[in-house]
């Protein structure tokens, strides 16, 4: 394998990611834009919800510590409860005799009726302690968190590979992105970049295994470059021994 061919393959890949492929550029731009928008929305939601949740938690904790939590809850319920409007007083009658009510005579008590037994006194129930309500924090959306995480992993791997040329750091970053989004829109490009990192780090057999699907055209991406890189790789030890044996 010549160093010039590997440099040419890496340069071609970087040029395509920068300017040549319109589809790749637009896809990458959408990923970066959606990542930025989702971060802004998440920060806005947190900035709006966290102060409210903190005030609610502080007020509830203060009321619980001072023993005023039931009174606070009662005041809130009285404030939000709907009370019907009082009925209008009945119109005054023109006849004063109609205002008087005839009182029925009270029934005479029975002569031999025993006095009613007094009900047993109930034991007072122990006062119940109302625990302060835990402050609730809004749970982030699972789909939004996953999209943010995938975008962050791709961006970190891309910067380490093409900006920093730190292949030892870029390789685990590509693998982390592929674990998080094995069928993502940029998964094929990430697999090819991983193979290039393996070549740069001298892991020949792993690079050969990673490049074979591209060279066979199974993924429809970088077939010519993958074939050239495989042709420049030294043959495996088993094949070299077979060629030396008569």
Question: Average pLDDT in the 48-61 region?
Answer: 75
What's the chain's average pLDDT? 71
Residue 127 has pLDDT above 80, yes or no: no
Domain positions in the chain are 3-50+143-244
d(CA 246, CA 230): 26
d(CA 198, CA 183): 21
127: left (phi over 0), alpha (psi -120 to 50) or beta: beta
Q: Of 5-14, 33-42, 134-143, 224-233, where does the model show the most confidence? A: 224-233
More confidently predicted of 157 and 49 = 157
Q: Give pLDDT tens digits for 174-184.
A: 999 999 999 99
Per-residue confidence at 54, pLDDT binned at 50, 70, 90?
confident
What does the pLDDT read at residue 45? 73
d(CA 3, CA 6): 5
d(CA 190, CA 173): 10
Question: Average pLDDT in the 32-57 region?
Answer: 72
What does the pLDDT read at residue 139? 39
Tell how many helices (H) and how many strands (E) occur in the chain.
Answer: 9, 0
pTM, full prediction: 0.46
Topology (CATH level 3) of domain 3-50+143-244 = 1.25.40
Q: Of 73-77, 110-114, 231-235, where does the model show the most confidence? A: 231-235
Q: What is the DSSP-derived secondary structure letter of residue 18?
A: I
Rg (CA), the chain: 40
* Pair 5, 200: CB distance under 8 Å: no
Q: Give pLDDT tens digits for 191-210.
A: 999 999 999 999 999 999 99
Question: Average pLDDT in the 120-127 region?
Answer: 53
């Amino acid at each position: 394998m010549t160093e010039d061919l590997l440099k040419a393959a890496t340069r071609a890949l970087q040029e395509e990611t920068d300017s040549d492929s319109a589809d790749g550029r637009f896809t990458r731009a959408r990923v970066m834009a959606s990542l930025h928008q989702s971060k802004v929305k998440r920060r806005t939601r947190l900035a709006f919800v966290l102060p409210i949740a903190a005030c609610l938690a502080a007020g509830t904790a203060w009321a619980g510590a001072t023993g005023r939590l039931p009174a606070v809850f009662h005041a809130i319920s009285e404030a939000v409860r709907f009370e019907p409007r009082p009925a209008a007083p009945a119109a005054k009658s023109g006849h004063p005799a109609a205002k008087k009510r005839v009182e029925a005579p009270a029934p005479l008590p029975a002569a031999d009726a025993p006095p009613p037994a007094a009900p047993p006194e109930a034991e007072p129930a122990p006062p119940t302690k109302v625990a302060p309500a835990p402050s609730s924090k809004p749970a982030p959306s699972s789909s939004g968190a996953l999209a943010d995480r995938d975008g962050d992993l791709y961006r970190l791997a891309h910067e380490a590979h093409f900006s920093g040329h730190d292949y030892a750091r870029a390789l685990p970053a590509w693998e982390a992105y592929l674990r998080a989004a094995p069928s993502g829109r940029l998964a094929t490009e990430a697999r090819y970049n991983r193979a290039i990192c393996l070549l740069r780090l001298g892991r020949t057999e792993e690079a050969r295994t990673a490049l074979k699907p591209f060279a066979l055209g199974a993924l429809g991406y970088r077939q010519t470059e993958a074939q050239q890189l495989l042709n420049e790789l030294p043959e495996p030890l088993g094949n070299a021994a077979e060629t030396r044996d008569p």
